């Protein structure tokens, strides 16, 4: 059996043979374990040129940079925030509370999106199918699954 197929099958079986020695968290791929272990090492080589915040992965930095490069339009003000006259308004928008995952540093604008995301780390699946017992982390995935039973 190919390596890629074995890795894919772990999605269905839930097998996670690679375990972190520092915290016990398990992973389906060795490469994912390696990425995770960087968190414990405290290495954050990817720094934001705008605000100085540092991240352990380049993908986290890219996600973070959205708060600085997001289209500069104010819905409260009803206009563009481009140009020097609007610098204070831009700073106020940048200071608005964003929600960061404590596990992987991913940033969310809405707390509800963070809560859903955190289920990846906790394994929580609060939505259970009444027909077969299969559980899901999102209600939308349960709704989609239930079509299997209803046709």
Torsion 126-127-131-134 (CA) sign? negative
Closest alpha carbon to 46 in 35, 57, 34: 57
Rounded CA gap, 51 and 43, in Å? 18
pTM score over 0.85? no
CATH number given to 15-44: 3.30.160.60
Q: Where are the alpha helices (DSSP H) in the chain?
A: 3-13, 30-41, 58-69, 87-94, 111-122, 139-150
List the domain boundaries for the chain.
15-44
Going residue by residue through the chain (151 aa), what tens digit of pLDDT does each one get? 678 898 888 888 889 999 999 888 888 899 888 888 887 888 888 898 888 888 888 878 887 777 776 544 444 444 554 555 555 555 555 545 677 787 777 777 788 888 998 888 888 889 999 999 888 889 999 999 898 888 7
User: pLDDT at position 18, please?
Assistant: 93
Strand pairing category for 127-128 and 107-108: unpaired
Closest alpha carbon to 121 in 96, 106, 103, 138: 103
User: pLDDT at position 76, please?
Assistant: 46
């Amino acid at each position: 059996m190919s390596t890629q197929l074995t890795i894919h099958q772990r999605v269905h079986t839930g097998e996670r043979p690679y375990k972190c020695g520092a915290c016990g968290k398990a992973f389906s791929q060795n490469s994912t374990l390696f990425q995770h272990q960087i968190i414990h090492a405290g290495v954050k080589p990817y720094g934001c040129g705008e605000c100085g915040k540092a991240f352990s992965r380049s993908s986290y930095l890219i996600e973070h940079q959205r708060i600085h490069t997001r289209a500069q339009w104010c819905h409260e003000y009803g206009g563009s925030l481009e140009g020097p006259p609007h610098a204070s308004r831009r700073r106020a928008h940048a200071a608005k509370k964003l929600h960061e995952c404590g596990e992987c540093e991913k940033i969310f604008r809405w707390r509800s999106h963070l809560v859903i995301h955190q289920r990846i780390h906790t394994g929580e699946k609060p939505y259970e199918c009444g027909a077969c017992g299969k559980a899901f982390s999102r209600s939308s995935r349960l709704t989609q699954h239930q079509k299997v039973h209803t046709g």
